[in-house]
Each structure stands twice: as structure tokens, then as C-alpha cells.
């Protein structure tokens, strides 16, 4: 017989030996057992049911080989919503939840009396941002794009499962939007922004889609693409919200100032104190 405590201790030890964060063990057990953490601790000296133990052992074997826990589970939590994830989409990150919170507060500030807020999420991946914003702000009319048709299939499922109404378009950055007449109040984009020669953890680089990660030599390729074309799809009074790399403040500021000299902008830090979000405002004093 194996108790919860024995099994958890064994895997925490193995995690340490294999360079996997030890917290993953309890986080995985909470999801697999569908029990609260305190409830597991209360039963820590009891025997682990056979079927749970089997799933736990199988999953931990994969996690110890650096496979992301979200891939083993097939889902991930983001802003309190459940998202299907798989190798076609980036696993949504906690920093991106902060981006969503900031977008929602600026929408309130900018468009208090507007009945509808037209919004687009470029490079939607799992749909995490688009679904969250559409669910949290009922005034939003949401469109979302991606160049990956496979990612869009997952995003569509996520919109449906969470009950969000979103129009999906497949295409290269702003291209599908430029082909239409529609103008937007809010453009959101968390593009691939990792410089292409950066060294990365194997749990990311071996398991997540490279089309979602790498943004050219300096990581800024996709921002340039948006900045060069955005005026044609943004309303006069509107804003754009981007996630960005923690070490891109200077290069990003220079890029905004040179390509969008009439716009105001700010760079915000994430909860770890790192530069992480860029907001660009058009038509405000
Ligand atoms: N928005 C999701 C999130 O925040 O979790 C995913 C962001 S991921 C960093 C970047 C996304 O951009 C990926 O889904 C990728 O497929 C998409 N992408 C990459 N190149 C693109 C392009 N040229 N045009 C449109 N989307 C692109
Ligand atoms: N935050 C992701 C990572 O560090 C990268 C996301 C992105 O390029 N937009 O793996």
C-alpha cells in the first residue's frame, strides 16, 4: 500500500533531482483528484486509491521528463476559466492574466458610455485573452486571429466551452483585418517575442509551438508589423495592448516613438517587477 504522503514525498524528491519545480507535485495531485489541497492534507496518511495512483504515476513520469503539466492534464486555468491546451497552442501564462486585468480597467476608463467596444486579439493561440475579455466585459464585440489554423480550432473549442461569442479569422498579423472595413476600439496582441537565439528551458522549447515563441532576431519583428499597419484599423480614439519581453523596454520605447510619434504610451511591470506590458493610446489628451 502507498499513502498520499509517501507518493508525494517520492515525487517531490524526484522533481528536485530532475530539475522540475517540486510544487508541481501537489498542483498536479489537486487537479487529478479534484480535491482541495486541505482535504488532501487531511487524508495524507491514508492509502491512495488505486486508480488515482495509476494516473498520478503515469502523469508524473511524463512531468519528470519535462513535459508541461498542462499537456498531461489537457487543460490549464486562466483568469478562472478552463482552457483546453495541446501542442498546437501556447499554454497561457500568469503574466497574461495581468495584461487582461489592465485591459479591462482601461476599457472602463476609456469607453464608459459606449454601448459596444470593438476588440481584436491578434495571435489568439488558445483563445485565452479573447475569451477572458469577452466573458468579463459584456459590451465587447470580439474578433480573434491566428496564423495557425490548428491553434484556431482549439481557440474555437475554448470559446464554445466557456460560452464566449467570438469571430475567428485565420491570417498573418493584421492582414485579415486590413482586408475589411471594420475599425477597432481595442487591439490586443501577445505576439511571439523571444529573440530567436535565446536559450530556453526544455519544458518550453521542446513542447510548445515555436510559431508562438520566437519573434525574429531582436524579438520585435511582430510589433513592427502591427505598428506599421495599425492606423488603418484603429478608431481615432482607441488603444492597443501588448505583452512584451522583460528586457525590451528601451528597444520598444524607441520603436513606438519612431513608428507612432503621435501616440502616447506606457510600459507596465508584472507582479515580478519586470517590464511586461505596453499600452499605446490614440486620440487622447
Ligand atoms: N494569445 C495567446 C496567449 O496570450 O496565451 C497566445 C500567444 S503566443 C505568444 C503567439 C501567437 O501568435 C501564437 O498562437 C501563434 O500561432 C500566433 N502567431 C505567430 N505568428 C503569427 C502571424 N504571423 N500572424 C498571426 N498570428 C501569429
Ligand atoms: N512568456 C512566454 C515564455 O517565456 C513567451 C510568450 C511570448 O513570446 N509572447 O515562454
Q: Which helix (H) or strand (E) holds 270?
A: none
Answer whether 261's CB lies under 8 Å from 255's CB. Answer: no
Pull the grid cell for residue 140.
465587447
What is the pTM for the complete model shown?
Answer: 0.97
Pull the grid cell for residue 232.
488603418
Q: Which of 146, 176, 213 to mutate to test the pocket of ligand 1 (most atoms within 8 A of CB)?
A: 146
What is the position in ligand 1's atom list of the atom closest to the CA of 130? Answer: 1
Q: For residue 105, report the distance from its CA to the centre of ligand 1, in Å.
A: 24
At a CB cut-off of 8 Å and minimum separation 6, what does 233 contact?
120, 174, 177, 178, 182, 183, 184, 187
pLDDT reported for residue 284: 76
Q: For residue 266, report the distance from its CA to the centre of ligand 1, in Å.
A: 22
DSSP-derived letter for residue 273 is S
Report helix, strand or coil for 60.
helix
The CA distance from 35 to 51, in Å, is 15
DSSP-derived letter for residue 89 is S
Going by CA atoms, what residue is nearest to atom 5 of ligand 2?
Answer: 213
148 lines ligand 1 (CB under 6 A): yes
Pull the grid cell for residue 156.
474555437
Answer whether 23's CB lies under 8 Å from 12's CB. Answer: no
Q: Per-residue pLDDT for the chain (285 aa), expressed as one digit of tens each? A: 899 999 999 999 999 999 999 999 999 999 999 999 999 999 999 999 999 999 999 999 999 999 999 999 999 999 999 999 999 999 999 999 999 999 999 999 999 999 999 999 999 999 999 999 999 999 999 999 999 999 999 999 999 999 999 999 999 999 999 999 899 999 999 999 999 999 999 999 999 999 999 999 999 999 999 999 999 999 999 999 999 999 999 999 999 999 999 999 999 999 999 999 999 999 975
270 lines ligand 2 (CB under 6 A): no
Answer whether 158's CB lies under 8 Å from 91's CB. Answer: no
Amino acid at each position: 500500500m502507498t499513502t498520499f504522503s509517501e507518493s508525494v514525498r517520492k515525487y517531490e524528491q524526484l522533481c528536485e533531482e530532475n530539475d522540475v519545480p517540486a510544487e508541481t507535485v501537489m498542483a498536479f495531485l489537486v487537479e487529478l483528484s479534484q480535491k482541495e489541497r486541505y482535504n488532501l492534507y487531511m487524508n495524507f496518511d491514508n492509502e491512495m486509491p488505486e486508480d488515482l495512483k495509476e494516473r498520478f504515476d503515469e502523469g508524473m513520469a511524463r512531468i519528470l521528463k519535462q513535459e508541461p503539466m498542462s499537456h498531461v492534464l489537457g487543460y490549464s486555468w486562466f483568469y478562472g476559466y478552463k482552457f483546453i491546451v495541446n501542442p498546437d497552442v501556447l499554454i497561457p501564462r500568469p503574466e497574461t492574466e495581468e495584461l487582461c486585468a489592465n485591459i479591462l480597467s482601461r476599457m472602463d476608463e476609456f469607453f464608459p458610455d459606449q454601448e459596444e467596444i470593438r476588440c481584436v486579439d491578434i495571435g489568439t493561440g488558445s483563445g485565452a485573452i479573447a475569451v477572458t475579455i469577452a466573458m468579463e466585459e459584456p459590451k465587447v464585440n470580439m474578433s480573434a486571429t491566428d496564423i495557425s489554423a490548428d491553434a484556431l480550432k482549439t481557440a474555437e473549442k475554448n470559446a464554445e466551452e466557456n460560452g464566449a461569442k467570438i469571430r475567428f479569422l485565420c491570417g498573418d498579423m493584421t492582414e485579415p483585418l486590413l482586408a475589411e472595413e471594420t475599425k477597432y476600439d481595442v487591439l490586443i496582441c501577445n505576439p511571439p517575442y523571444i529573440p530567436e537565439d535565446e536559450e530556453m528551458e526544455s519544458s518550453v522549447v521542446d513542447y510548445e509551438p515555436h510559431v508562438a515563441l520566437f519573434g525574429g532576431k531582436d524579438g520585435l519583428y511582430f510589433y513592427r508589423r502591427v505598428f506599421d499597419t495599425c492606423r488603418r484599423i484603429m478608431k481615432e480614439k482607441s488603444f492597443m495592448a501588448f505583452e512584451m519581453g522583460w528586457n525590451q523596454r528601451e528597444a520598444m520605447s524607441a520603436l513606438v516613438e519612431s513608428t507612432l510619434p503621435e501616440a502616447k504610451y506606457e510600459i507596465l511591470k508584472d507582479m515580478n517587477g519586470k517590464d511586461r506590458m505596453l499600452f499605446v493610446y490614440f486620440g487622447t489628451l
